[in-house]
């Protein structure tokens, strides 16, 4: 099955009109239409397929689709065996094409497109092995894992040998941790209660329901108006009580000094972290913010828009974050996230993945399960984001029990969508968009 030849890469522009109800709204993305560039890879065997995606928030998804098409030429004609037997080489082929790297390199649209394709390849590999992706990774020989990683530009922070040592050290207790995960699941936190566009009434109602369901960790969007933030944080902290955990997220709204003073004003509500206080590119800025907030007991979290391992390397070297928020689509899929998780382990910084959107929870649960079982071996200060919508469009949606991600059992990377959902939400000609765009005065375009 591994020797089936890849014959076709299909990519679709799939969008959900979430802006109509302000789901996902934050200080910088006020009207997101959660979307994906959705990739299906076909082989000549017929039975072996791969499904992958990258997440976007509406307009511009067609540009990512265009980039996936451009990269497809590098994939078609190869076999899965060829690819995974030199996955590092294939990764470089995709991310370092002598002409296309100019429009990155390894950042922005071209990196999102590479992620969508690589996610589909990893999905295909896991299906070929009849395992969920996390289990494929957990069972893989450490030397083979290392050969999936492009160490270019990070050897000053992590060598291949150091990476191997981390994986081999974590061999101890691996089976126990896998059993524990299968029984209890991986701890999650919820962002569903407090999007910026939600009213206080919505927030109260959602928070109360979440407490009832057993949630203990809550994230609130901040950054548009300080008085609003104080009121909302007070409301949430009062509802969840002093023992539960609160995080705040500014989605890059501030300059460096503004971030420090604004967050200091929210310190009384004891947030565990401030997420994305400023530009995702500003390593030194995050370092300054981290240093200023440390005495207040507030950490800095970032990563959902951190575009590659070279940036994460520096965030770690500069002590610019205290929580590494990997994303399953922003960087180069599993390959690059392996590098990032291993660097985080070396620098002893916890990984707390970014999720939500469309399919991000489905994807990233595999990575964080692997991180716990095979890399970090710790749950201290660790948890994975969860947002409760759009899961109904997936073949194998995430399962949450007692506010924990229950490890998926179906083979693959969990991002195969329902064919009917893909059809209905195709932009702009699917049924849903014909309806939305047909309405006059639509807020969408």
Token code pair at residue 312: 């994460």
The answer to whether residue 257 forms part of the interface with a copy of itself (CB under 8 A) is yes
CB count in 10 Å sphere of residue 148: 21
Segment interacting with a copy of itself (CB under 8 A) among 106-114, 132-140, 194-202, 213-221: 106-114
Please state, in angstroms and rounded to a whole number, the distance separating the CA atoms of residues 444 and 117.
28
Q: Contact between 271 and a copy of itself (CB under 8 A)?
A: no
Asked if 424 contacts 431 with a C-beta cutoff of 8 angstroms, the reply is yes
Determine which one of 354, 366, 393, 425 is catalytic.
354
Burial class of residue 297 (count of CB atoms within 10 Å of its CB; 0-12, 13-18, 19+): exposed
387 binds a copy of itself (CB under 8 A): no
Report d(CA 192, CA 116) in Å as an integer: 25
Report if residue 77 touches a copy of itself, rule: CB under 8 A: no
Q: Binding a copy of itself by CB under 8 A: which of 45, 79, 152, 204?
A: 152
Per-residue binding letters, 111-150, with a copy of itself (x by CB under 8 A): xx--------------------------------------
Which of 17, 271, 285, 359: binder of a copy of itself (CB under 8 A)?
285
221 is known as an active-site residue: yes
Which residues lie closer than 8 Å to 328 by C-beta, 6 or more apart?
A: 115, 119, 337, 353, 355, 360, 363, 364, 367
Query: Distances in Å between the alpha carbon of 138 and those of 157, 174, 373, 430?
Result: 24, 9, 7, 39
Beta pairing class for 35-43 and 6-15: antiparallel
Binding flag, residue 261, a copy of itself (CB under 8 A): no
Query: Does 100 help bind a copy of itself (rule: CB under 8 A)?
Result: yes
Q: Figure out which of the listed residues 281, 410, 419, 431 binds a copy of itself, where binding follows CB under 8 A.
A: 281
Which residues inside 318-377 make contact with a copy of itself, applying CB under 8 A? 318
Binding status of residue 88 toward a copy of itself by CB under 8 A: no
At 220 the three-state DSSP class reads strand
For residue 432, state whether it binds a copy of itself (rule: CB under 8 A).
no
96 near a copy of itself, rule: CB under 8 A: yes
Please tell me whether residue 57 binds a copy of itself under the rule CB under 8 A.
yes
Q: Is 374 helix (H, G, I), strand (E, B) or coil?
A: helix
Q: Decide: 235 and 193 in contact? Cβ < 8 Å.
A: no
User: Cβ(395)–Cβ(417) under 8 Å?
Assistant: yes
Least separation in angstroms between CB 421 and a copy of itself = 20
425 included as an active-site residue:
no
Active centre residues (catalytic): 221, 354
Residues that bind a copy of itself (CB under 8 A): 28-33, 56-60, 62-64, 66-67, 70, 96-112, 152-156, 252, 255-257, 278-285, 288, 305, 307-308, 310-311, 313-314, 317-318
């Amino acid at each position: 099955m591994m020797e089936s030849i890849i014959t076709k890469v299909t990519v679709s522009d799939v969008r959900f009109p979430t802006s109509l109800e302000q789901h996902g709204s934050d200080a910088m993305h006020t009207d997101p239409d959660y979307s994906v560039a959705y990739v299906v890879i076909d082989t000549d065997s017929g039975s072996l397929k791969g499904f992958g995606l990258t997440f976007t928030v509406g307009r511009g998804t067609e540009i990512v689709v265009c980039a996936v098409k451009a990269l497809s030429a590098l994939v078609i004609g190869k076999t899965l065996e060829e690819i995974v037997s030199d996955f590092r080489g294939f990764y470089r082929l995709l991310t370092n094409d002598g002409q296309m790297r100019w429009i990155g390199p390894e950042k922005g649209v071209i990196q999102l497109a590479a992620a969508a394709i690589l996610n589909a390849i990893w999905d295909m590999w896991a299906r070929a092995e009849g395992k969920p992706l996390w289990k494929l990774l957990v069972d893989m020989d450490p030397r083979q894992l290392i050969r999936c990683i492009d160490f270019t530009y990070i050897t000053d922070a992590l060598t291949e040998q150091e990476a191997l040592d981390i994986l081999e050290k974590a061999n101890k207790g691996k089976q126990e941790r896998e059993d524990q995960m299968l029984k209890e699941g991986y701890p999650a936190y919820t962002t569903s209660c407090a999007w910026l566009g939600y009213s206080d009434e919505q927030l109260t109602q959602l928070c109360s329901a979440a407490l009832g369901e057993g949630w203990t960790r809550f994230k609130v969007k901040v950054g548009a108006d300080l008085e609003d933030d104080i009121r909302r944080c007070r409301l949430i902290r009062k509802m969840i009580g002093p023992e539960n955990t609160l995080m705040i997220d500014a989605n890059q709204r501030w300059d460096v000094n503004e971030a420090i003073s604004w967050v200091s004003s929210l310190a009384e509500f004891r947030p565990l972290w401030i997420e994305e206080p400023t530009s995702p590119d500003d390593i030194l800025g995050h370092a300054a913010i981290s240093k200023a907030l440390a005495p207040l007991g507030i950490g800095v979290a970032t990563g959902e828009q951190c575009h590659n391992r070279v940036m994460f390397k520096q965030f770690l070297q500069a002590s610019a974050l205290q929580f590494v928020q990997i994303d399953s689509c922003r960087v180069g899929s599993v390959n690059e996230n392996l590098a990032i998780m291993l660097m985080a382990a070396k620098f002893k910084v916890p990984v707390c993945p970014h999720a939500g959107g469309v399919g991000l929870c489905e994807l990233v649960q595999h990575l964080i399960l692997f991180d716990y079982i095979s890399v970090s071996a710790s749950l201290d200060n660790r948890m994975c984001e969860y947002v409760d919508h759009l899961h109904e469009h997936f073949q194998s949606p995430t399962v949450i029990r007692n506010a924990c991600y229950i490890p998926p059992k179906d083979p693959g990377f969990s991002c195969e969508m329902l064919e009917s959902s893909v059809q209905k939400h195709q932009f702009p000609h699917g049924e849903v968009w014909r309806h939305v765009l047909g309405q006059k005065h639509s807020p969408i375009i």
